[in-house]
Amino acid sequence: MKATTSSRQPLSATLIGTWELVSREDYTRNSERRIDPSLGADPIALLTYDRGGYFAAQFMKRERGLEPETSTASSAPNNSRARGGYDAYFGTYTVDDVHGTVTQRLNGALSPENVGQILTRDMTVIGDELVIRLDTATADGEPIVRTLRWKRVA
């Protein structure tokens, strides 16, 4: 997959900024929607990439209750683990402009087992929209494709 941008600039240039989550959807190979119980159907999130090669991501379940939620360890590829309806991680990133991928190295994470993890994702920027696609799995191991749509806010 090649990086796509409306101005024909490389992904490494158009990715820089702060992004707010518009939607996060998981679908099976049979096009059946799956909802991640840890973050819900409509989480809120913020994602930042800076020019120095650093990034930070935060996700929260929109209707997060006051009671602590249990979380299960994620053994899914290319995925981190939310705790109590919240997930956050930060680190460094590199961009492969030819393939339209971003590789993130987690220097810190809410879930200790995610520290040091390397996540590679397909990304496309068109104007002020960022689309991230990744192959992963549900908590019970069912393969899914996750699509995250973001809008640029800064």
* pLDDT tens-place string over residues 66-90: 655 555 445 566 678 888 899 999 9
Task: Give the residue extent of every domain in the chain.
Answer: 11-152
Give CA separation, 129 vs 17, 66, 92, 96, in Å.
11, 33, 22, 19
Q: How far apart are CA 97 and CA 34, in angstroms?
A: 31
Say what the pLDDT of residue 67 is.
Answer: 56
Q: Does residue 6 register a pLDDT over 60?
A: no
pLDDT tens for 10-54 read 999 999 999 999 999 999 999 999 999 999 999 999 999 999 999
- CATH architecture of the region 11-152: Beta Barrel (2.40)
pTM of the predicted model as reported, rounded to 2 decimal places = 0.87
